């Protein structure tokens, strides 16, 4: 069984690490947030002193970090993974970062005999807690097959989609669809509410038809209760859509709808709502329409 190092115990990483412990894996963890480290070590993990210390004790390293710069720093920076990881180690980066960065890191690690997979996730905090994330993986098939059981302790869907970087391309596609679904839901429900129709009844009427979706079922009940506590923060979705735009620009692919939703999210961020759940995007439409989409009391 792998000795696993886990670096990054944020909203997603902490429950993911706990699910690995529940599955019986030996875990050494590191994060700059000491409270998160204490919580996970209380569940049975060992505490690492740094990314390098974690790497030295592990033959499988998992990173779950905010964005490309943080992953680069943890892997390539002073006291980072590359400094101490042994040849044959597998690094699985489960962060959502730019695909080109995944490929660059993979090349650097390969020079020391370290294999990298990029394996971003979808499902937000609730599915991270449940261990039912969708995990989309890029990298060598042999390495994927070796770690699939580990990933399955954190997700209910674990799919290899291609070479290194393909996982993050798939995540970008996922984030486009999620963002546009939320925007469509917001636009539709504000229209229905302003037209005098109960939005909860509209939701129940359409959820079983072609307009129904996982996004609609996850976000509409929260909107109806005015609950924008983050499962996935607007600021993080902005980060992902910025990576979409950068990637689209590199390969000359049109993303006009994504650009518009990104503008809406940035507007909400500027109003102090960056840490709201991305379902809170509806607040942009509510403000313009001067109405709120809420459950009738």
171 a catalytic residue = yes
Query: Is residue 131 located within the same domain as residue 198?
Result: no
CA distances from 102 to 91, 137, 147, 165 (A): 11, 12, 18, 5
Handedness of CA 12, 260, 215, 292 (dihedral sign): positive
Question: In sequence order, what DSSP letters do the residues of 103-117 get, joined into one string?
Answer: HHHHHHHHTTT-EEE
Residue at a domain's end among 163, 189, 210: 163
Whether the CB-CB separation of 123 and 178 falls below 8 Å is answered with no
Query: Is residue 178 located within the same domain as residue 137?
Result: no
CATH of the domain at 16: 3.40.50.720
Residue 297 is assigned to a structural domain of this protein: no
Query: Is residue 98 located within the same domain as residue 80?
Result: yes
Query: Is residue 142 located within the same domain as residue 197?
Result: no
Residue at a domain's end among 107, 135, 163: 163
Reading the chain (297 residues) residue by residue, the pLDDT tens digits are 899 999 999 999 999 999 999 999 999 999 999 999 999 999 999 999 999 999 999 999 999 999 999 999 999 999 999 999 999 999 999 999 999 999 999 999 999 999 999 999 998 888 999 999 999 999 999 999 999 999 999 999 999 999 999 999 999 999 999 999 999 999 999 999 999 999 999 999 999 999 999 999 999 999 999 999 988 899 999 999 999 999 999 999 999 999 999 999 999 999 999 999 999 999 999 999 999 999 987
Query: Is residue 284 located within the same domain as residue 175?
Result: yes
Helix or strand (DSSP H, E) at 16: helix 13-22
Residue at a domain's end among 119, 147, 163: 163
Query: Is residue 183 located within the same domain as residue 149?
Result: no
CA distances from 159 to 156, 171, 207 (A): 10, 12, 27
CA distances from 106 to 92, 99, 160, 187 (A): 10, 11, 16, 41
Domain count, the chain: 2
Query: Is residue 147 located within the same domain as residue 285?
Result: no
Global pTM reads 0.91
Q: Which domain holds residue 148?
A: 3-163
Active-site hit among 14, 18, 127, 171? 171
Query: Is residue 133 located within the same domain as residue 36?
Result: yes
Query: Is residue 86 located within the same domain as residue 176?
Result: no
């Amino acid at each position: 069984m792998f000795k696993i190092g886990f670096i990054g115990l944020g909203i997603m990483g902490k429950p993911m690490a706990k699910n690995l412990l529940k599955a019986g894996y030996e875990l050494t963890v590191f994060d700059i947030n000491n409270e998160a480290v204490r919580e996970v070590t209380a569940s049975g993990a060992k505490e690492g002193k740094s990314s390098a210390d974690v790497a030295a004790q592990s033959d499988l390293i998992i990173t779950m970090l905010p964005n490309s710069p943080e992953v680069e720093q943890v892997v390539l920076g002073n006291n980072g993974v590359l400094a101490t990881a042994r040849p044959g180690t597998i690094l699985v980066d489960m962060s959502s970062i730019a695909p080109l960065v995944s490929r660059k890191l993979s090349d650097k690690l390969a020079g020391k005999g370290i294999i990298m997979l990029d394996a971003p996730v979808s499902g937000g905090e609730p599915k991270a807690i449940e261990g039912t994330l969708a995990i989309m993986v890029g990298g060598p098939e042999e390495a994927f097959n070796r770690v699939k059981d580990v990933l399955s302790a954190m997700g209910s869907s674990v799919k290899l989609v291609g070479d290194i970087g393909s996982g993050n391309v798939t995540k970008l596609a996922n984030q486009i669809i999620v963002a546009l679904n939320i925007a469509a839901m917001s636009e539709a429900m504000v229209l229905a509410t302003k037209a005098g129709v109960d939005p909860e009844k509209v939701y129940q009427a359409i959820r079983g038809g072609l307009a129904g979706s996982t996004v609609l079922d996850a976000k509409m009940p929260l909107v109806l209760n005015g609950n924008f506590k983050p499962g996935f923060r607007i600021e993080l979705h902005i980060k992902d859509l910025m990576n979409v735009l950068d990637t689209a620009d590199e390969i000359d692919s049109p993303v006009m709808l994504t650009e518009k939703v990104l503008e809406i999210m940035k507007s909400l961020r500027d109003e102090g709502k960056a840490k709201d759940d991305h379902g809170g995007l509806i607040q942009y439409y509510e403000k313009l329409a001067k109405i709120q989409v809420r459950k009738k009391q």
